[in-house]
Amino acid sequence: MQYRPITADEVKDFARLMRLAFGDPAAMTEHYTDLLGIEGYRGLFDGDRMVASIGFFDDAHHFAGGAVSTWGVTAVGVDPGTRGRGLSGILLDNSIKEAAAAGPAMLTLYASAPAVYRKIGFERAGKFIAYKGRTAQMASSGSPTGSFRAVDPMAPETRAQLIELHKRWLPLTSGPFERRDTVWTCLLQPYDKHTDVFVWHDDDDAPGAYAILHHTPGKFEVADYCVPTGEAASAMLGFLGGFRAIYSDVTWRGALVDPLIMAMNDRWWETAQHEHWFSRIVDVRKALAQRGYAKGVGGRVALSVEDPVLAQNNGTFGVEVANGTASVETDGDPDGALYLTVQSLVPLFTGLVSASRLAAMGRLDGPREAIDTADLLFTGPTPWMEEQF
CB 243 within 8 A of CB 218: no
CA distance 194 to 83: 36
Contacts of 25 (CB under 8 A, 6+ apart): 19
Cβ closest to ligand COA, residue 79 vs residue 231: 79
The conformational region for residue 160 under phi > 0 = left, psi -120 to 50 = alpha, else beta, is alpha
Contacts of 74 (CB under 8 A, 6+ apart): 54, 55, 56, 57, 109, 389
CB 195 within 8 A of CB 213: yes
Cβ closest to ligand COA, residue 83 vs residue 286: 83
Cβ closest to ligand COA, residue 308 vs residue 334: 308
Which burial class, exposed, middle or buried, applies to 15 when counting CB atoms under 10 A from its CB (0-12, 13-18, 19+)? buried
| Least distance (Å) between residue 124 CB and ligand COA | 14
Cβ closest to ligand COA, residue 220 vs residue 278: 278
Cβ closest to ligand COA, residue 88 vs residue 316: 88
Contacts of 383 (CB under 8 A, 6+ apart): 61, 63, 125, 126, 127, 174, 175, 350, 351, 352
| Least distance (Å) between residue 7 CB and ligand COA | 21
| Least distance (Å) between residue 352 CB and ligand COA | 19
| Least distance (Å) between residue 20 CB and ligand COA | 8
Q: Which residues of the chain form contacts with ligand COA (CB under 6 A)?
A: 21-22, 76-78, 83-89, 110-113, 115-116
Residues facing 249 on adjacent strands: 134
| Least distance (Å) between residue 307 CB and ligand COA | 19
Cβ closest to ligand COA, residue 86 vs residue 230: 86
The H-or-E segment that residue 79 falls in is none
- Going from the C-alpha of 230 to that of each of 141, 234, 264, the distances in angstroms are 12, 6, 11
Cβ closest to ligand COA, residue 110 vs residue 252: 110
| Least distance (Å) between residue 83 CB and ligand COA | 3
Q: For residue 284, which of 339, 321, 330, 347 has the smallest C-alpha distance?
A: 330
| Least distance (Å) between residue 67 CB and ligand COA | 25
Cβ closest to ligand COA, residue 22 vs residue 169: 22
CB 221 within 8 A of CB 173: no
Q: For residue 63, which of 289, 316, 306 has the smallest C-alpha distance?
A: 289
- Going from the C-alpha of 136 to that of each of 147, 240, 243, 248, 335, the distances in angstroms are 19, 9, 8, 7, 60
| Least distance (Å) between residue 77 CB and ligand COA | 4
